[in-house]
Amino acid sequence: MIKKELEEKIIQELKTIFDPEIPADIYELGLIYEIRIDDNNKVDILMTLTSPNCPVADSLPLEVKEKVQHIESVKSAEVELTFDPPWDQEMLSDEARLELGFL
């Protein structure tokens, strides 16, 4: 599978994971900063949370890892949590802005 196709599959899977406090998926919220796929289909995801005190700070990165690992062709997945830069509403996609009534 081509890396671009695999990245699209990963993005589609990430769009099934929702932030419990904001009714939008984590990808459209802008919580996913980077998706890296190496030549062996090992996936590294750099993500953030809407707040360092987010009630799902422990479980959300784990859910991301588990869902991505179960995609066919993914050999392994790691998720790194960062708060640099901190998330803000400017990171919302147009789709999320529309869904949340900001457009």
Asked whether residue 41 is assigned to any structural domain, the reply reads: yes
Residue 7 backbone class (left: φ over 0; alpha: ψ -120 to 50; beta: rest): alpha
- Relative to beta strand 32-37, strand 42-47 is antiparallel
Asked whether residue 97 is assigned to any structural domain, the reply reads: no
Total number of residues shown for the chain: 103
Asked whether residue 57 is assigned to any structural domain, the reply reads: yes
What's residue 55's pLDDT? 83
Query: What pTM was estimated for this model as a whole?
Result: 0.92
Asked whether residue 55 is assigned to any structural domain, the reply reads: yes
Asked whether residue 101 is assigned to any structural domain, the reply reads: no
**What pLDDT digit, counting tens, does each position of 1-43 carry?**
689 999 999 999 999 999 888 889 999 999 999 999 999 999 9
Q: Hunting for tokens 């422990």 — which residue is that?
A: 58
Number of domains making up the chain: 1
CATH number at residue 41: 3.30.300.130
What's residue 103's pLDDT? 73
Burial of 69 (0-12, 13-18, 19+ CB in 10 A): middle
| Mean pLDDT of the residues in the chain | 93
Asked whether residue 100 is assigned to any structural domain, the reply reads: no
What's residue 53's pLDDT? 86
Residue 93 tokens read as: 């996609």
Range of the domain at 68: 3-83
